[in-house]
Amino acid sequence: MTIVFAMLLDALLGEPKWLWNRVPHPAVLMGRLISAMEERLNTGPARRAKGAVLIAALVIGALILGGVLSAFGPLVEVLIGAILIAQRSLADHVSDVARALRLSLGDGRMMVARIVGRDVNVLDRSGVARGAIESAAENLSDGVIAPVFWFTLLGLPGLLAYKIINTADSMIGYRNDRYAEFGWAAARLDDVVNWPAARLTALFIALVHLRPDAIGVALRDAGLHRSPNAGWPEAAMASVLNVALSGPRSYDGTLREEPFVNPEGRQDLGSDDIDAAVAALWKTWGLTLVFVALWWVIA
């Protein structure tokens, strides 16, 4: 039942700036640890093996720490769970893009740069809206449904292990000269632990909108996405909003010709579509809360 209270507390408070301006967020501490170890280990030969040993050590350490913290009782579990579930902060960040885009394209570009990694200076209004909606869908899976899934399944140890894997992937799981070998294990493990949540997210988006056809779109189009998991929530979100997502985008000045997900959807997007995506985030969160509560009652 602690997961239910953790979800509710996160939805109520989000990430209070007064607290995280004074003490480092646990995700920041994870990032600092990973960065320090990467600087020490990502040199010389056998980089893939070193990266695999590091991610194994991080996961084992997270499991042990989670077990120790759980011994302090449900209140600690609720507080840590609320901190590491990102529903409120995700909805707030995406809503900020809609508000900024209503002011001007420049404001929208500046705000969406906080949540996407693509070149924002070349985005038009539709591109800004598309980036915000894609981030909403992908992070609903990575930042909400996956943490809830692993917390429900394995308790606080499972949640901490998931977060350290996801954080490692976000830092070293890139296919570039520096990280392709060292971050290989982190990226592959992140794909594995996000596999169930990505598909559950697509299912929940379809269910809460009473749109079984969204599952068909996800089954058809998820494989078009460059990520083995992100295509599932993005395709379902695209379907229920009747928009086309993904498609061509620019990174570091290089245009990548990627296919659209739900290509029959509208390609002319705006602030209202971002608002609709935020509403979908909260509806999906609500359905997830119901399922988790029912799981607790049944189990």
State the average pLDDT over residues 285-296. Answer: 94
Domain count, the chain: 1
Whether 90 contacts 144, CB under 8 Å: yes
Nearest to 205 by CA among 128, 282, 284, 150: 284
pLDDT at 258: 87
Does residue 298 surpass a pLDDT of 90?
no
The angle subtended at Cα 128 by Cα 124 and Cα 131, nearest 5°, is 135
SS3 265: coil
pLDDT category, 209, cuts 50, 70, 90?
very high
The pLDDT tens digits for 138-189 are 999 999 999 999 999 999 999 999 999 999 999 998 888 899 999 999 999 9
* Per-residue pLDDT at 299 exceeds 80: no
Task: Please give the mean pLDDT across all residues of the chain.
Answer: 94
The yes-or-no verdict on residue 118 having pLDDT over 90 is no
Q: State the sign of the Cα–Cα–Cα–Cα dihedral 146, 130, 238, 9.
A: positive
User: Which residues span the domain enclosing 110?
Assistant: 2-298
Instruction: Write out pLDDT tens, residues 253-269.
Output: 778 888 999 999 999 99
- Span 45-60, pLDDT tens digits: 999 999 999 999 999 9
**257 vs 247: CA distance, rounded Å:** 7
pTM, full prediction: 0.94
Confidence at residue 119, expressed as pLDDT on a 0 to 100 scale: 87
109 vs 73: CA distance, rounded Å = 44
Structure tokens at 291: 């399922």
Nearest 5°: the CA angle 39, 41, 45 is: 125
Q: What is the pLDDT of residues 70-115, one digit of tens each?
A: 999 999 999 999 999 999 999 999 999 999 999 999 999 999 999 9
